[in-house]
């Protein structure tokens, strides 16, 4: 995107004195937010292990006079700030976990933390930018606590563990928070969240109404044949040839069975394991993969077709298929009415030309679990240095992932403005923006 002064005709709508005050507070906090982010970046923690991070958050919220609950969904922190006037409950969410990625590059606050993950030694890195989310939300908490008496409602700050998924065998993330009642008591009327993006220019906000990020499911297929000598395949049932046919059969789900003009979908085979030696046809082959979809109907069709294809191809070969599908995250769904209501706020804070609709994203986000229960709006904040070429900006989850901290100010302001505008526009629960999906 090219910015030109001569071509910047937009004028910001008049801002209320409260917003001007919040902007000033946010500007004054910028250095502090960057310092917090660097401290958290240097000490990343994996999902359900965010002990130092949550202790830091809890101490900060306490210092602001905010009511604090800790150990929510394992390591989560929830802060409740009651405004001076009555009104709705607005929840703001920041995720806290890092990833098993070894950081490259030479930032002075680079992570050198290492750990063991799934039996492998690995570095730990905030390679998705959740360190930015925590720091921005700590800044938002400080701004909103400073204008507490002017707030027409309550703010619930949700610092969430394990967005990237809990360790094997553990519960965690947004799903566990919801299960533990984080959206109740006081009952949340709407929830907002943002994700920093390493491939979106600083100063830009991207969003999408309705389905935004995909639902994700995992599946596994075990194909059982009959072991035999590699020189005499006719004496057995070959699960390798059968699995190959299944892999090809799975390709027809998206291309032949789904109305792809409505929404895209993905069926990926991520691993195929079977066999040990050139001249042995093995007993079984195991395959695993992932499914991405945007509507419950398409998701159902994909599940049914995976079962039919694996079972019937196996049967035709005299083999047997065992199919298992694990439903993981639902669609990240921005409530259309709430989105319509709040986009003008983003346009006012970022400038109309800097708020852009993004395409569907086949990635997933567990913010979706909150949105299943209450109207929610999730948007993307620019974190790529201005003028950098997209191909030079490392994607999320990679060792060279980089975030330009000059984007944090807009993060703090946008969340503060969304909160107060939602409160100002509140007309009671009966007319609240948005229906549940
Ligand atoms: Zn991530
Ligand atoms: Zn993330």
Q: Which residues, in sequence order, are CB contacts of 419 under 8 Å at separation 6+?
A: 90, 92, 140, 144, 151, 155, 192
Active site residue 163: yes
Ligand 1 centroid to 6 CA: how many Å?
38
CA angle, residues 53, 57, 59, in degrees to nearest 5: 115
Ligand 2 centroid to 330 CA: how many Å?
15
Q: What is the layout of strands, in order, in the sheet containing 266-274? A: 266-274, 284-293, 215-224, 320-329
Residues found in the chain: 437
Burial of 102 (0-12, 13-18, 19+ CB in 10 A): middle
| Per-chain mean pLDDT for the chain | 95
Considering every ligand atom shown, identify the ligand nearest to the alpha carbon of residue 164 and give its number: 1
pLDDT tens column, 414-431:
999 999 999 999 988 654
> Does residue 434 have a pLDDT over 90?
no
Q: Which residues, in sequence order, are CB contacts of 394 under 8 Å at separation 6+?
A: 198, 400, 401, 402
Q: Which of 45, 95, 97, 131 is catalytic?
A: 97
pLDDT tens column, 222-249:
999 999 999 999 999 999 999 999 999 9
Ligand 1 centroid to 365 CA: how many Å?
8
pLDDT of residue 5: 43
Q: Is the dihedral of CA 380, 382, 387, 391 positive or negative?
A: negative
Q: Which of 95, 131, 163, 284 is catalytic?
A: 163
* Measured CA distances, 206 to 7, 124, 137, 181, 362 (Å): 20, 28, 19, 30, 15
pLDDT, mean of residues 299-308: 98
Considering every ligand atom shown, identify the ligand nearest to the alpha carbon of residue 174 and give its number: 2
* Measured CA distances, 118 to 47, 122, 216, 222, 295 (Å): 13, 10, 21, 22, 32
pLDDT above 90 covers a percentage of the chain that reads 93
> Does residue 298 have a pLDDT over 60?
yes
Q: Supply 299's token pair.
A: 């998701």
Global pTM value:
0.91
Ligand 1 centroid to 405 CA: how many Å?
18
pLDDT of residue 118: 87
Considering every ligand atom shown, identify the ligand nearest to the alpha carbon of residue 101 and give its number: 1
Residue found under tokens 């801002």: 15
Ligand 1 centroid to 179 CA: how many Å?
22
Active site residue 27: no
Q: If pLDDT is split at 50, 70 and 90, which confidence band does 15 have?
A: confident
Alpha-carbon 218 to chain mean position: 17
Residue that wins the pLDDT comparison between 9 and 366: 366
Ligand 2 centroid to 268 CA: how many Å?
21
> Does residue 7 have a pLDDT over 50?
no
pLDDT of residue 11: 40
pLDDT of residue 430: 53
């Amino acid at each position: 995107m090219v910015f030109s002064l001569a071509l910047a005709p937009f004028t910001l709508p008049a801002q209320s004195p409260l917003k001007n005050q919040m902007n000033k507070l946010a500007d004054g906090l910028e250095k502090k937010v960057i310092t917090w982010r660097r401290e958290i970046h240097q000490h990343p923690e994996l999902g359900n292990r965010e002990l130092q991070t949550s202790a830091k958050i809890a101490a900060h919220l306490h210092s602001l006079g905010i009511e604090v609950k800790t150990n929510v969904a394992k390591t989560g922190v929830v802060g409740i700030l009651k405004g001076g006037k009555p009104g709705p409950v607005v929840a703001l969410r920041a995720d806290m976990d890092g990833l098993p990625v070894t950081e490259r590059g030479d930032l002075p606050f680079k992570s050198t933390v290492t750990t063991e993950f799934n039996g492998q030694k690995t570095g730990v890195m905030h390679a998705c930018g959740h360190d930015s989310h925590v720091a921005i939300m700590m800044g938002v908490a400080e701004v909103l606590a400073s204008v507490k008496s002017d707030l027409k409602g309550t703010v619930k700050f949700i610092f969430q563990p394990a967005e990237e998924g809990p360790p094997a065998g553990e519960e965690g993330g947004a799903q566990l928070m919801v299960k533990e009642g984080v959206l109740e008591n006081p009952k949340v009327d709407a929830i907002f969240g943002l994700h920093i993006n390493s491939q979106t220019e600083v100063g830009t906000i991207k969003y999408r109404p309705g389905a935004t990020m995909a639902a994700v499911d995992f599946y596994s297929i075990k194909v059982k044949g009959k072991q035999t000598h590699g020189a005499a395949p006719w004496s057995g049932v070959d699960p390798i040839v059968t699995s190959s046919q299944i892999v090809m059969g799975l390709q027809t789900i998206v291309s032949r069975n789904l109305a792809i003009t409505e929404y895209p979908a993905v069926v990926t085979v991520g691993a195929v394991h079977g066999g040990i030696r050139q001249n042995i046809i093995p007993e079984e082959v195991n395959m695993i993969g992932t499914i991405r979809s945007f509507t419950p109907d398409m998701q159902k069709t994909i599940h049914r077709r995976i079962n039919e294809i694996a079972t019937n191809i196996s049967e035709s070969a005299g083999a047997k298929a065992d199919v298992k599908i694990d439903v993981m995250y639902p669609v990240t769904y921005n409530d259309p009415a709430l989105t319509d209501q709040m986009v003008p706020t983003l346009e006012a804070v970022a400038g109309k030309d800097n708020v852009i609709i993004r395409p569907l994203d086949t990635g997933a986000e567990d913010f979706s679990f909150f949105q299943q229960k209450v109207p929610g709006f999730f948007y993307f904040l620019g974190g790529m240095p201005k003028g950098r070429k997209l191909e030079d900006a490392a994607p999320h989850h990679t060792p060279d992932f980089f975030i330009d901290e000059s984007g944090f100010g807009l993060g703090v302001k946008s969340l503060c403005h969304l909160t107060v505008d939602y409160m100002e526009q509140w007309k009671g629960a009966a007319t609240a923006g948005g229906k549940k999906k």
